[in-house]
Chains A and B, each alone.
Chain A
Amino acid sequence: MSTDVGPPPAPVRAEPLRAPRRVPVPLLLLLPSAVFMALLFGWPLLSGIMEAFRGPDGFTTANWERMAGEPRFWEAVRNTLLLTAVVIPIQFTFAVAMALLLQAKPRGAGFYFYVWAVPLAISDLAAGLVWLAIFTDLGYLNSALVDIGIVERGAQWLNYQNPTSLFLTVVVAEVWRATSLVLIIVVAGMQVIPKDYDEAAQVFGATFWKRLWHVTLPLLRPSLQVALILRTILAFEAFAVAQALTGRNFPLLVGETYEWSVNLQNPAVASAVALVVLGMSMVVAVIYLRALRQPDSVRSGR
């Protein structure tokens, strides 16, 4: 070891050892997406809000009055809410039941899952057309009924003079189409639940229904919450399915937006209607978040 090297060299005024200052890599990677979304989401959103209040002389609520003055608008509001209120519970019960069926691992579970998931990739327009083929006057439902001999000629399911029937056909088509989405979310949620919990419940005396109530559903709550919010908001946007099945005989809010925008060439009122949809979605989201909030001391999972 050297003994003496003289006084230590004078400290060099070096830059602190750090990467040269520039935008950190992650932010650089995120930038395009953030900009893109801001332009294509943020800007139209603001623009839409402004548009709804725009008149020839500046700020006005005339568009809103125009919108609210149309009886079709209120019909659309009622239909949208009614459709959502009926379809969502049916879908969720159905999806949970289907997920439980799959959970029991029947033979052919893979095949069943494939068929049950197919409607996931079907748009609401296509779903409407599929059920049109079934419900139309000369369609497959009436054909089957006549073949079996139940009725003479088949009913007019899509007759505009029969609003209940119209409503029900739209419900069936929507349930058929969108249950797959909930099914996937529920199945994914169930797979994350360790099966130990269910086995423990079995050993300690719980019947199937008790296990469902005490173990499975509570542990599914986070998944169900997300699914409910997404699904309800999507339900408010249903439109092409009703157009395909009923034409203009079953007004829905988004259908009205489409009408105002494209056929009536009035983007201002169209924006107003769209904002109604947005408002409803936000209210619903808040309600769900409140109602299904876990107690603070229970964190999800372990």
Chain B
Amino acid sequence: MAEVRMRNLVKTYPGGSTRATDDVSLDVDDGEFMVLLGPSGCGKTTLLRMVAGLELPDSGQVVIRGRDVTYLPPRERNLSMVFQSYAVFPHKRVRANIGFGLQMRGVPREEITRKVAWAADLLQLAPYLERYPSQLSGGQRQRVAVARAIVMDADVLLMDEPLSNLDAMLRLSFRAELKRLVGEIGTTTLYVTHDQAEALSLGDRIAVMRDGAIVQCDAPIAVYDVPASEFVGGFLGSPPMNFLSGTLAGTNGTVELDLGEGAARLPAPAALAGFRGQAVRAGVRAETIGVSHEQRPGAARCVVEVFEPLGSAVLITADLGGQRIKVQAPATFRADPGDELWLSLEQDNLRWYDPDSGAALATSAPATAS
């Protein structure tokens, strides 16, 4: 049972004016793949390094496998780590690199050879064991870094943006390989990235961080579909979630969002009835919007600004009553700038946010598909 528990971790770097991590608490279950996602400076790497022991918190606690490790040096924590720069020792052969951790722990030589062979097989490095890192490509060096980490049988596997130095093609293929590999081995994993696609693909849960705090932590589908704030909705997904400003209006039983300028009225949940007359923001994902050249009941009118054919779909940027909206349509759909289109936004696909704080509003939003 190698679970990780972080409690109230606070860290300010010397010379810094703001907290790098602001009272962060998080639990990672045994065998769970937890992704820390956020823009640069959000504190995700600091959090990872505190779990690793490469930084010490100002206050708070880190517990691994029931043992307090908050101030222990890294080598006493039984962890392994993959660095963004790989940190593969250039003066040692691949074999010595992979076996480094085992060598440091005094594992007998035959066992090291056996385990190194096993890890090298898993990562297709067997033909390269006698080479030096300078004779390998970037992708191969990254495999060496991963092999070095998984050979250790550590309690927790830490990864600091391991794919960000690979080119786009390699990144995609290795991402899948990494997911399969880590899934097979089953170690508790803490993974840091700023790439939302990586986070959605790899994580059992994603902890979205901003300005030193976790703003949402949930399964990828939940974080994607029901973002807890505008920030989360805007950070995940490509293109980011659309946000429309409007005022709640409506009479009697109905609640509607008035987008102003006579543009359109969108259906709103009954739970927001008490806020009629107040400004509110509605979030909607580009791919959930229906689009047609013909007017349909309940559809909103917009004017095309940009038409981008992306191959697997088309991305349309349109002006909806003075607000910009991005709509994803099937690849066969065509439109030119200036065309008039009719958008269907279903209430089920709308998410509601407070215009001042950006936080999600309590509505009886449908339970997300599991």
A-side residues, CB < 8 A to B, are: 194, 196-197, 199-207, 210, 214-215, 218-219, 221, 294-295, 297-302
A297 near B132: Cβ-Cβ < 8 Å = yes
A205 near B105: Cβ-Cβ < 8 Å = yes
A299 near B87: Cβ-Cβ < 8 Å = no
With a cutoff of 8 Å between Cβ atoms, the chain A residues found around residue B74 in the complex are 199, 202-203
Q: How far is the CA of A207 from the CA of B106 in the complex (A)?
A: 12
Interface-central residue, A203, A207, A297, by most chain B CB under 10 Å: A203
**Smallest beta-carbon distance B83→chain A, Å:** 5
B148 near A298: Cβ-Cβ < 8 Å = no
The answer, yes or no, to whether B100 is at the interface (CB within 8 Å) is yes
Known: A297-B132, A299-B134, A302-B134. A205 touches B85 (CB 8 A): no
A204 near B152: Cβ-Cβ < 8 Å = yes
With a cutoff of 8 Å between Cβ atoms, the chain A residues found around residue B298 in the complex are none
**Smallest beta-carbon distance B115→chain A, Å:** 13
Q: How far is the CA of A202 from the CA of B53 in the complex (A)?
A: 9
A218 near B91: Cβ-Cβ < 8 Å = yes
With a cutoff of 8 Å between Cβ atoms, the chain B residues found around residue A299 in the complex are 90, 134
B83 near A298: Cβ-Cβ < 8 Å = no
A205 near B83: Cβ-Cβ < 8 Å = no
With a cutoff of 8 Å between Cβ atoms, the chain B residues found around residue A197 in the complex are 87, 89
Cβ 8 A contact of A199, one of B54, B89, B133:
B54
B75 near A297: Cβ-Cβ < 8 Å = no
The 4 closest A-B pairs by CB, nearest first: A204-B101, A205-B104, A200-B87, A196-B87
Known: A200-B81, A297-B131, A299-B134. A205 touches B90 (CB 8 A): no
Using A194-B85, A194-B87, A206-B75 as known contacts, list a sample of 12 further A-B pairs with CB atoms less than 8 Å apart, ordered by residue number in A: A202-B75, A203-B52, A203-B53, A203-B79, A204-B81, A204-B101, A205-B101, A210-B104, A219-B90, A297-B132, A297-B135, A298-B134
Kindly supply a per-residue 1/0 record for chain B positions 339-356, scoring 1 wherever the CB is within 8 Å of any chain A CB and 0 otherwise. 000000000000000000
The answer, yes or no, to whether B260 is at the interface (CB within 8 Å) is no
Tell me the B308-325 residues at the A interface (CB within 8 Å): none
State how many residues of chain B have any CB contact under 8 Å with chain A.
Answer: 28
Tell me the B30-83 residues at the A interface (CB within 8 Å): 52-54, 73-75, 79-81, 83
With a cutoff of 8 Å between Cβ atoms, the chain B residues found around residue A199 in the complex are 54, 74, 83, 87
Sample 29 A-B pairs with CB under 8 A, ordered by A number: A194-B87, A196-B85, A197-B87, A199-B54, A199-B74, A199-B87, A200-B81, A200-B83, A202-B75, A203-B52, A203-B79, A204-B75, A204-B80, A204-B81, A204-B101, A204-B152, A205-B104, A205-B105, A206-B100, A207-B75, A214-B92, A215-B89, A295-B132, A297-B134, A298-B90, A298-B91, A298-B134, A300-B90, A302-B134
**Smallest beta-carbon distance A208→chain B, Å:** 10
B133 to chain A: closest residue by CB: A302
Interface-central residue, B73, B89, B92, by most chain A CB under 10 Å: B89
Cβ 8 A contact of A298, one of B53, B80, B132:
B132
Tell me the B135-161 residues at the A interface (CB within 8 Å): 135, 148, 152, 158
**Smallest beta-carbon distance B103→chain A, Å:** 9
**Smallest beta-carbon distance B94→chain A, Å:** 12
Tell me the B283-332 residues at the A interface (CB within 8 Å): none
Q: How far is the CA of A301 from the CA of B105 in the complex (A)?
A: 26
Q: How far is the CA of A95 from the CA of B79 in the complex (A)?
A: 33
**Smallest beta-carbon distance B4→chain A, Å:** 15
With a cutoff of 8 Å between Cβ atoms, the chain A residues found around residue B91 in the complex are 218-219, 221, 294, 298
With a cutoff of 8 Å between Cβ atoms, the chain A residues found around residue B75 in the complex are 202-207
Q: How far is the CA of A218 from the CA of B89 in the complex (A)?
A: 10
A199 to chain B: closest residue by CB: B54
B101 to chain A: closest residue by CB: A204
Q: How far is the CA of A210 from the CA of B53 in the complex (A)?
A: 18
**Smallest beta-carbon distance B107→chain A, Å:** 10
With a cutoff of 8 Å between Cβ atoms, the chain B residues found around residue A219 in the complex are 90-91
Cβ 8 A contact of B100, one of A204, A207, A218, A302:
A204
With a cutoff of 8 Å between Cβ atoms, the chain A residues found around residue B83 in the complex are 196, 199-200
With a cutoff of 8 Å between Cβ atoms, the chain B residues found around residue A203 in the complex are 52-54, 74-75, 79-81, 158
With a cutoff of 8 Å between Cβ atoms, the chain A residues found around residue B89 in the complex are 197, 200, 214-215, 218
Q: How far is the CA of A200 from the CA of B53 in the complex (A)?
A: 11
**Smallest beta-carbon distance B51→chain A, Å:** 11
With a cutoff of 8 Å between Cβ atoms, the chain A residues found around residue B80 in the complex are 203-204
With a cutoff of 8 Å between Cβ atoms, the chain B residues found around residue A200 in the complex are 81, 83, 87, 89
**Smallest beta-carbon distance B111→chain A, Å:** 15
A202 near B101: Cβ-Cβ < 8 Å = no
With a cutoff of 8 Å between Cβ atoms, the chain B residues found around residue A204 in the complex are 75, 80-81, 100-101, 104, 148, 152
**Smallest beta-carbon distance A4→chain B, Å:** 42
Interface-central residue, B83, B91, B131, by most chain A CB under 10 Å: B91
Q: How far is the CA of A300 from the CA of B148 in the complex (A)?
A: 22
Q: How far is the CA of A301 from the CA of B91 in the complex (A)?
A: 9
Kindly supply a per-residue 1/0 record for chain B positions 192-236, scoring 1 wherever the CB is within 8 Å of any chain A CB and 0 otherwise. 000000000000000000000000000000000000000000000
Cβ 8 A contact of A202, one of B54, B105, B134:
B54
**Smallest beta-carbon distance A136→chain B, Å:** 46
A299 to chain B: closest residue by CB: B134
B73 near A301: Cβ-Cβ < 8 Å = no
